[in-house]
Chains A and B, each alone.
Chain A
C-alpha cells in the first residue's frame, strides 16, 4: 500500500478540465474536488455539489440581530427607564425600526464573515490550506482520493487522455503557504 493520498490532475485549459471530469465520471471514479483560479459556469451541476446553506445561516444571524435589538429596546425603553417622548407609547415600534434594521444587517454580516472563516479554515494567523499552489494562479486541478480509487494507472491514463499537463501524487492532503 502506497502512501499516496491524493492524485491531482493539473490542466491548463478549463474546457479540457471539464472534459476530464466527464471522462472520470463515465468510468465511475469519484472526484474529491476541483480547484480553479476563476469561477466556471455549470461546474456545480456537473460535480453534483450540494446547494449552499449560507442563506439559511444568513437568515438565522439576521433574525438574531432583530430579536436582540427589539428585546434591548423593550428592556431600555419600557422596563428600565420609561420616558414620555412626544406622548407616544413607550414601545413605539416605528421609531425603533431603523436601529433594528441596522442590527439585523450587522449581525448578518459579522455572522457570515465568521461562518466563512470557520468553513474555509481561514482565520487570521493561520496559513491557508491548498492542494496545489498553482490552482490559485493558472492551473485547473481535479483532485481524486487515491485511497478510495485503487486503479491509479487508469486514472492517470484518463487524465492524460483528457489533456492534463501534469499529474501529481500527493502524500499529504494539503500543502500550505507556510
Chain B
C-alpha cells in the first residue's frame, strides 16, 4: 500500500452551472424577502423566516469550525485530506455572523422578533403590560446585554474559525509542524469556549422567542441539530465535488466515517430532543407543557415530520454499512437531514413568533432557497481560493490511504 498519484495541487474552479444556479437562488431569495416586506401583515412571518435561515446559516458555518477543532484535538488522521471543505465553511462564518446579527438587530429594533421580552411596559410595575416573570429575567434579557452577547459569541467563533483556516494556509507555504501544533492549541481553547457558550447562544437566539418558557436541554438540543446538519453539509459538498471530478482521493471509507457521524449524531439529536420532551410530558406542569401544547395544536404535521426526517430516515437508511459507503444513498440521506433540520428550526421558531398564523409558501421556500444559494456561493468562493488539499498536513498520508 502507499502508492498513489493524486494531484495534490488541484484547485476548485467556481464557474459555470454551480455559480449561475447559486446566483439565481440568491435572486429568488431576495424576491421572496422583498415580497414579504411589501405587505405589512407579513412582516413578522418574513422576520421569522429570516431568523430561521440566518441562524441555520451561521450554525452550519460555526459547526464547520467545530469540526476542524475536533479533528485537531482528536489528532484525527482520516480527515486530513478533506479539511478544506469545513475550512471553507469556517471562513464563511464572519459573513454569516454579520447577516445573523443584522437580522436579530433589525428584528429587535422593529419589535418583530423577541417582543415577548422586548416590548414597552413589560418591566414597569405601573404599566398594564407589566409582566413579573419578564421583569425577573430582565437583568439577562435586555437589549444591550443581548446584543453584546450576540456580538461576542459570533465574534469569538469567527475569530477562531478564521484563525484555524489561516494556520492551514500558512502550513501550505511553510511546512513543518509549527502550524499543526498551534492549530491543536487554539482548537483546545476554542472547544472549551464553544462547548460552554453555544447553549447560551441558542437560549438567546431561539429560546428567548418564548421568554416565559425555558428548558436546560434546549442548548444541547440545538447543538446536536447544528452539528449534524453541518456534517450532512460536509458530506453533500464532498460527494458533489467528487461527482464533478474533484478530490479523487476521497474514497468510500471517508464517506463511511461521515455516514457514521451523521447516523450517530442523528440518534444523539433524537436522544436530546426526547430528553427534553419526556421530562415535560412526565412532569406535566402547565408552565412547561405550554411549549408542546402549541406545537401539538397548530404544528402537528411538522412535529411528526421533524421526527421522521431527523430520526427515522437516518436510522433506517444509514444503518447498513453498504449504505454509509454509497455516494448516492449518503447524498440523499444528507439532503433529508438538512431538510429535517429546517423543519426542526421551523418548529422552534414559528410557534413563538407567528403562532397559529404560520404558513408554508413562497416566503418560506424562497428564503430557504436564497440562503442555500448564498451559502453555496460564499462557501464555494472560499473553497476556490486554496488548493483542495492541505498538502503539508502531518497526517495527510494516513488520510490518503484511509481504509476501513
User: Using a CB–CB distance below 8 Å, which chain A residues touch chain B?
Assistant: 41-42, 55, 86-88, 94-95, 97-98
Contact = CB atoms under 8 A, between A and B. Distances in A.
Contacts of A87: 284
Main secondary structure of the interface of B (DSSP, over half): helix
A98 B277 CA distance: 12
A42 B321 CA distance: 17
Contacts of A55: 321
Contacts of A41: 1, 403
Interface of B: 1, 274, 277-278, 281-282, 284, 321, 403
A86 B280 CA distance: 13
A94 B403 contact: no
Contacts, number: 20
13 contacts: A42-B403, A55-B321, A86-B282, A86-B284, A87-B284, A88-B284, A94-B274, A94-B277, A94-B282, A95-B281, A95-B282, A97-B274, A98-B278
Most chain B C-beta atoms within 10 Å of own C-beta, residue among A42, A94, A95:
A94
A94 B321 contact: no
A98 B403 CA distance: 36
Nearest to A18: B1
A97 B271 CA distance: 11
B275 to A, nearest CB: 9
A42 B284 contact: no
Contacts of B274: 94, 97
Contacts of B1: 41-42
B316 to A, nearest CB: 12
A11 B160 CA distance: 50
Contacts of A98: 278
Nearest to B274: A97
Nearest to A15: B1
Contacts of A42: 1, 403
Nearest to B275: A98
A88 B278 CA distance: 13
Contacts of A97: 274, 278
B278 A95 contact: yes
Given A94-B277, A95-B278, A98-B278, 17 more contacts: A41-B1, A41-B403, A42-B1, A42-B403, A55-B321, A86-B282, A86-B284, A87-B284, A88-B284, A94-B274, A94-B278, A94-B281, A94-B282, A95-B281, A95-B282, A97-B274, A97-B278
A87 B274 CA distance: 21
Contacts of B278: 94-95, 97-98
B404 to A, nearest CB: 9
Closest CB pairs A-B (n = 4): A94-B281, A41-B403, A86-B284, A94-B278
Nearest to A45: B403
A40 B106 CA distance: 59
Contacts of B284: 86-88
A55 B274 CA distance: 26
